[in-house]
Structure 1
Amino acid sequence: MRFDRTWLHSFFGILCIIRYVCLLNADDLEIKKWLVFEVTSNLSGCQVQRSELESVTLGNMSWNMSVQFEDFNSSASNTNENASLITGLLMLVMNPVTHNTTFAKMFRTHELFGFYLDLRWHLTRLQTGSVVALVVSAVGTAGLRGAADDLRDAGALMAHHLPAGAHWVWVFVKGGRTLLETAVLDTQGPVLANVFIPVADARDVTQIMETDRYEICQTMNILDDLCSETWFPFPRSVLNNSDFLDSIPIVMTVGTRPQYMYAALKAMHLSPGFRPENLHVLCGGQTADTLKLLDFFKLNYTVIEIEGTGNPMLFQYYRKVFKFIAENFQSADAVMIIDEDVEVSPDFFSYMSQVMPVMMRDPTLYCATATSFFPSPRLYLSRNRVRRGESQVGWGYAIKMSVVRQALERWPTTLDSYAMYDHWIYEEVVESGECIFPEVSRAKHFGVGINAVGIHMETNFLQVQMEMQSGMEIYSLEDIPLLRWRKNLQVKLENSEIISGDPCSDNFFTDREDGSYIFAYHLEANADGSYDMISYFISGLCCCELTYSGIDYGSHDHVVMARVKPGVEIYFLGAPLSSFSYVLDNNTAAWNYKALDDLGKVKALEKAAEFQLRVKSELKSKYNKKRFMHEVFSDGFDYM
């Protein structure tokens, strides 16, 4: 490897080139390829313009220049990323025998939160022996965080020593060795590196896999154990007392993410009570890899044509999903819907077999979801208890067929709506309807899509701890019917102690004796019927990361119970909007963030954003001490 620190004097030319040169021996039986990486740093960084493993071209990015990244998933119903995504860490995976690209994705690791978890998910599922290239596009190391540990364990030397704006290239063999690792840090000098990659001998690959699975694993990657020699077809696990599920269809929505889909299918098959004959997969568009995998598992599927892009496309895709359900499962009373990036727990079907009959008997419930709306690790949750509350359908849910038909009557058919279908159903169809949901989640939304928000992923979706034991008995089903639920809540509130004060002061909620307490926050309806949740949002975050996105999903009549430690239950009550506000005495003032002075608002926001501020502070401290680069990079940089 040669580091050339001469200054760049040309205004033209391609900044970063990765190219192959094919070398054939005399008898043309062996093909070898030579990789040449030429990376030049500049003030804005290197930017991926188009990418295949055989040719990755990176160009100069400037703020007034539009550069398109040719996304591998842009035609899907469930696209992995926005087609214009051009910043982050690009992963390219190559079959070592054919040198064909088997996977490509841009990870948004230029953002500090959340997206590194998706990178970790993919790294752990790489097929052994694959040739992998990781290339920074513009900015891609700032948000590596915990993924740097996985990269180090896989053999990367520089992962823990890169500044936020570094341009880094690493080529390695999964389970083998590094072929190339180089970086440009904070200099405008070019870096030139060469690496020789021999073609693996196909005769060295153990051929004990059946032909169709072997062919899949030659053209696809990130399929976890499917490409292992020890993989065995999923067994069918029987679940006692689950006859109710015999007549319930299961619909899985998929797009161009077969890697996610395989993980979701595997979890579904391994959950006792799953009935494969009830599963029907609805494919948004015809993606060869997705269909090949579905054919391998011999699953029933239908291709749904998609149109448009982004959220308008997704909104219409789900309209067609609901239309298919209504037309093809007319005799069913309800349907279970699972997206391709949702992992169900081993208790999923046991849970559904218990809560769905309750849902069907109660006209005030429209769904039963496997999603817990209280996933914070700072809360103490019961594995055996469920609640009811206002919510979207969440991930991994059952919905009444009557609601499916009702939604179709109102669903716009044009491509001018940017609404997300689940929120639209909640707001426009069931009008803040209620669902049954578990305290401990029976499903996990692990994928990253076009609407992904990093901080929500990190503090909620990707950190969910599911119930991993099957056959859990639900104890609180008799309390779910509306009149019973309200009566029990009324009794609980009337016998709770009212607390007031600063919810963002240290240990305000936890430094209490065993018992139940009411904390009132200010909540009033606006003239248009909407209401501002800022006081609940801030107080919930200060309490226990309760309100990850500023919404009160899981609340009933604007009351949410948070068990902040064993024996201590805090009831957040929105006053005066909640009808239960009568339990407050005249001397109780609901906490109002907007009524605080400027200093009080700043302190509350700092406490609410404690996690984000801590992460940013740790990274800032690291980058301010340039000596963290010293162990890897030679002198010539200012470390003082």
Structure 2
Amino acid sequence: MIRKRVSLICCVAFLFVTWNAVLVLLLLGRAQQGQPGQVQGGVAQNPTGDMVDDLNRIADTFESELRKQKDILSQILNDWSLWKPKDRKVRPPSPPVIPILVMACNRVTVKRCVDKLIQHRPSADLHPILVSQDCGHAETAQVIRSYGDKVTHLSQPDLSDVPVRPEHKKFQGYYKISRHYRWALNQVFRNLSYSSVVVVEDDLEVAPDFFEYFRALQPLLQSDPSLWCVSAWNDNGRDGFVDPGRADLLYRTDFFPGLGWMLLRELWEELEPKWPASFWDDWMRQPEQRRGRACVRPEVSRTLTFGRQGVSLGQFYDKYLRYIKLNTEFVPFTKLDLGYLKEQDYRENFQKEVYAAPVVTYEAVKQGQLTGSGPFRLQYSTKDSFKVLARNLGIMDDLKSGVPRTGYRGVVSFFSRGRRIYLAPPPGWTQYDSTWS
């Protein structure tokens, strides 16, 4: 583009000089024809009045044209100062700000959560910590305020009971949690105008590469409409059920994991108008909300829950959650190629690996009688067969809207006795059965 502009300027300048040279030659020619004392036919001639008038008109025209050409040339020189390339350093785009939203209530152990966040975050500017507190618990509020300007303390103003049907009175806590989420996420996206956020509960401890994980995956979440969240959690991530040598391994999953998850403003604008009165996480798992989209989740969890007591009264905690393996190895995700997680390539490669794996029996898996390094495929065909196999193998057996925990296209991936096992439906699977719940 710059070369074209330089050529144009040179061309205009050449025409300017040529045009004025022609004008000068014409003027000189006319002037020589009418000079006093010029001899024509042996007789000295004097200029006539008409000739003098013609000469004056030519001079005036030449002067006027010269002024116009001067103005044009001045404009060209002015424009050239704008077109001329300047030695400016190209500034890289500013890194995105990804706040961390901590959902708190009445547990002073929120300190353990916030301490780890502050310890591992690479930048306070890029990762502001917002602690949103419901319940109005004074001791918890004092703990949050003790961090000063290291965190922002948000207080949910409506502490009243939520009107519920008599049979739902025992679920009052779930209604308040859903109300709190709605209020807090509105603060993040509407009042503070952030474009993304990572949500953690006050009973979560984060891994050393927690921030690295989300920073690397935010661009993929923004660019891939088939994704709607990134989660730090593996529901079947107990020690012995994950590959200890693949802390860098990531998956797509149709199951919404929660427990440390990132969403974009665009998703919140979609969900907020229909946000449920209670049980918001199971509501997220319904097909009407998921709309065929997936989340990214890790092989080894980047969060660990230490909160046995809560509104769920420790459901699953003693049997599963307390044994989840928290990653301790820092994986430089921002330097890795994560393109394999894009939908079409991932689906094709995943299905090829799953259904190329040899089919084995439950007994062979359970008794450690497999030969070879794997992976191996263990097949289920009904809701009951899935539940029996999952329960006996030690992985979570519940389904939400027909989707098993960590499942992708019906397949649950886990480790057993050092080998990869795919608990999978028969080939040709097409969709989940929402009655499997």
TM-score band (shorter)?
Answer: 0.5 to 0.7
Cα shift at 1:476 = 6.6
Q: Give the match's secondary structure for 2:120.
A: coil
Question: CA deviation digits over 1:260-300, x for unaligned, max 9?
Answer: 21000111111142526622221114322222222221132
2:289 maps to amino acid: V
Q: CA deviation at 1:337?
A: 1.0
Conserved? CA contact 1:559–1:578, under 8 Å? no
Task: Summarize deviations over 1:168-212 as a string: whole Å, max 9, x none.
Answer: xxxxxxxxxxxxxxxxxxxxxxxxxxxxxxxxxxxxxxxxxxxxx
Partner of 1:445: 305
Partner of 1:558: 410
Tell whether the 8 Å contact from 1:367 to 1:434 is kept in structure 2 after alignment. Answer: yes
Equivalent position SS for 2:234: coil
Q: Secondary structure in 2 aligned to 1:513?
A: coil
Deviation at 1:541, TM superposition (A): 2.7
Structure 1 residues 95-494: aligned runs within 5 Å: 246-258=96-108, 260-275=109-124, 278-298=128-148, 299-304=151-156, 305-308=158-161, 309-330=172-193, 332-381=194-243, 382-412=246-276, 417=277, 419-427=278-286, 428-431=288-291, 433-452=293-312, 454=314, 456-473=316-333, 477-494=338-355
For 1:193, the equivalent position in structure 2 comes to none
C-alpha deviation, 1:323, in angstroms: 2.2
Closer, same or farther: CA 445–432 of 1 in aligned 2, 3 Å = farther
Amino acid of the residue matched to residue 271 of structure 1? H
Structure 1 residues 549 and 493: CA distance shift in structure 2, 3 A: closer
Aligned residues of 1:272 and 1:349 also touching (Cα < 8 A): yes
Aligned CA distance change for structure 1 residues 253 and 312 (closer, same or farther; 3 Å): same
CA distance in 2, matches of 1:244, 1:572: 43
TM-score by length of 2: 0.66
For 2:351, the aligned partner's letter is: Q
Instruction: Decide which of 355, 367, 385 is 1:535's aligned counterpart.
Output: 385
Asked whether the 8 Å contact 1:515–1:569 carries over to 2, the reply is yes
Q: Deviations over 1:142-167 (max 9, x none)?
A: xxxxxxxxxxxxxxxxxxxxxxxxxx
The alpha-carbon distance between structure 1 residues 274 and 456, as it changes in their structure 2 partners (threshold 3 A), is farther
Please report the TM-score for the alignment, with normalisation by the length of structure 1.
0.46
Distance 1:307 1:257 in 2: 19
**Partner residue in 1 for 2:396:** 547
The alpha-carbon deviation at position 452 of structure 1 amounts to 3.2
Query: Secondary structure of 1:363's match?
Result: coil
Gapped runs of 5+ residues in structure 1?
1-242, 524-532, 582-640
Q: Give me the whole-angstrom Cα distance separating, in 1, the residues matched to 2:416 and 2:311.
A: 30
Shift of 1:333: 2.8
- Tell me the amino acid that sits aligned with residue 322 of structure 2: L
Deviations 1:70-117 (A, max 9, x none): xxxxxxxxxxxxxxxxxxxxxxxxxxxxxxxxxxxxxxxxxxxxxxxx
Separation in 1 of the partners of 2:315 and 2:155?
34
**1:522 is paired with a residue of what secondary structure?**
coil
Q: Is the 8 A contact 2:358 2:377 kept in 1?
A: yes
Q: Is the 8 A contact 2:399 2:405 kept in 1?
A: no
CA contact (8 A) 1:440 1:465 kept: yes
1:303 maps to a residue whose letter is S
Percent identity among equivalent residues?
17
The answer on whether the counterparts of 1:281 and 1:301 sit within 8 Å (CA) in structure 2 is yes
Shift of 1:401: 1.4
Encode CA deviations 1:305-357: one digit per residue, 9 max, x unaligned.
23323212222221222222231243x33211111111111110111111222
Q: Is contact 1:504-1:542 (8 Å) kept?
A: no
SS of 1:280 mapped into structure 2: strand
| 1:515 maps to amino acid | G
Mapped partners of 1:481, 1:300: distance in 2: 35
Q: Does 1:513 align with 2:375?
A: no
Q: 1:344-378, CA deviations, whole angstroms, 9 ceiling, x for partnerless residues?
A: 11110111111222222111111111111221333
**Counterparts of 2:413 and 2:337, CA distance in 1:** 15
Aligned pair 1:569/2:420, yes or no? yes
- Asked if structure 2 preserves the Cα contact closer than 8 Å seen for 1:311 and 1:420, the reply is yes
Tell me which moved more, 444-453 or 282-291. Answer: 444-453
2:352 aligned with 1:496: no
| Aligned mates of 2:138, 2:431 — CA distance in 1 | 55
Contact 1:369/1:393, CA 8 A, preserved across alignment:
yes
How far, CA to CA, are the matches of 2:269 and 2:223 in structure 1? 18
Measured at CA, do residues 515 and 323 of structure 1 come closer, stay the same or move farther in structure 2, by a change above 3 Å?
same
Shift of 1:407: 1.2
**Conserved 8 A contact 1:244-1:353:** no
Contact 2:355 2:377 in 1 (8 A): no
Native 8 Å contact 2:106 2:140 kept in 1:
yes
What amino acid is the match of 1:376? R
- Following superposition, the deviation at residue 447 of structure 1 comes to 0.8
The structure with more strand, counted as a fraction of residues: 1
What letter corresponds to residue 407 of structure 1 in structure 2?
Answer: L
User: Residue 282 of structure 1: SS of its match in structure 2?
Assistant: strand
Are the counterparts in 1 of residues 380 and 423 from structure 2 also a CA contact under 8 Å? yes
Does structure 2 retain, via aligned residues, the 8 Å contact 1:560–1:573? yes
Structure 2 distance, partners of 1:352, 1:345, is: 12
Question: What letter matches 2:285 in structure 1?
Answer: Y
State the alpha-carbon separation in 2 of the partners of residues 272 and 574 from structure 1: 41
Q: 1:570 to 1:285 in 2, by over 3 A?
A: closer
SS in 1 for 2:241: coil
Matches of 1:509 and 1:557, distance apart in 2: 27
Q: 1:514 and 1:471, CA in 2 relative to 1: closer, same or farther beyond 3 A?
A: closer
Hey, what's the Cα distance between the residues in 1 that align with 2:145 and 2:174?
Answer: 29
Shift in CA distance, 403/577, structure 1 to aligned 2, threshold 3 Å: farther
Letter in 2 for 1:461: L
CA shift in 2, pair 1:353/1:365, >3 Å = same
1:467-505 per-residue CA deviation (whole Å, 9 max, x = no partner) reads 123344475722111101111023213422123x4x257
Cα deviation 1:561-618 (Å, max 9, x = unaligned): 223244x33222124772399xxxxxxxxxxxxxxxxxxxxxxxxxxxxxxxxxxxxx
Higher helix share: 2
The alpha carbon displacement at 1:455 in A equals 6.2
8 Å contact from structure 1 (residues 385, 476) kept in 2? no
Task: Report the CA distance between 1:245 and its aligned residue.
Answer: 6.1
Q: Does the CA-based 8 Å contact 1:248-1:335 persist in structure 2?
A: yes
| Count of residues in correspondence between the two structures | 319
Counterpart of 1:318, as a letter, is Y
**1:459–1:550 distance in 2 versus 1, CA, 3 Å:** farther
Q: Is the 8 A contact 1:371 1:438 kept in 2?
A: yes
Given that 1:504 and 1:539 are in contact with CA atoms closer than 8 Å, whether structure 2 keeps it comes out as no
